[in-house]
Amino acid sequence: MKVYIGSDHNGFHLRESLVTYLHGKGFDVEDEGDAKLDPSDDYPVFAAKVAQAVLASSDDEPRGILICGSGQGMCMAANRYKGIRAALGYDRDSVRLARHDDDANVLCLPARLLQSKETLQLVDLFLTTPFAAAPRFIRRIKEMDDEL
């Protein structure tokens, strides 16, 4: 599975540690974030990079991870792209249901609110939870895509 990851300055250090962690777990990771910390960067730039990379990926099930202070801005920016289903992940239930019911393909994390061990658990859950593919879930995703 190919994982694209990006962050603004608020998630810079968390992104660096997640890239290392995911490489260690054998994931093919593409870092779409800045190489150095820039306190004046803007989250929509990185949301666009990750969303576009997920949509253009040749991988069968590409995933994106976006990190900013609250996770909200990244989520809003990423969801502007048709085919992106970005979800704010703040606890195990929010992440599990986003994958299981809604086939989320981008996880948005709030760097200011999560501890590092908790973040790793949420990322693992996001990358391992399968989409249930129940007819009602498929229908709802199609309705969202048709409306955009």
Q: pLDDT 10s per residue in the chain (148 long)?
A: 999 999 999 999 999 999 999 999 999 999 999 999 999 999 999 999 999 999 999 999 999 999 999 999 999 999 999 999 999 999 999 999 999 999 999 999 999 999 889 999 999 999 999 999 999 999 999 998 886 5
Supply the pLDDT for residue 67. Answer: 98
8 Å CB contact between 37 and 12:
yes
> What residue type is 6 in one-letter code?
G
Give the alpha-carbon dihedral of 51, 52, 55, 61, to 10 degrees: -50
Nearest-CA neighbor of 68 among 93, 95, 86?
86
Supply the pLDDT for residue 146. Answer: 85
Q: What is the pTM of this model?
A: 0.96
The span from the first CA to the last CA of the chain, in angstroms, equals: 27
C-alpha distances (whole Å) from 77 to each of 22, 51, 95, 109, 111 are 24, 9, 18, 13, 17
Supply the pLDDT for residue 63. Answer: 98
Structure tokens at 31: 């870092």
Q: Give SS3 for 26.
A: coil
Q: Could you tell me which residues are beta bridge partners of residue 68? A: 110
Phi, psi at 72, each rounded to 5°: -65, -45
8 Å CB contact between 76 and 107:
no
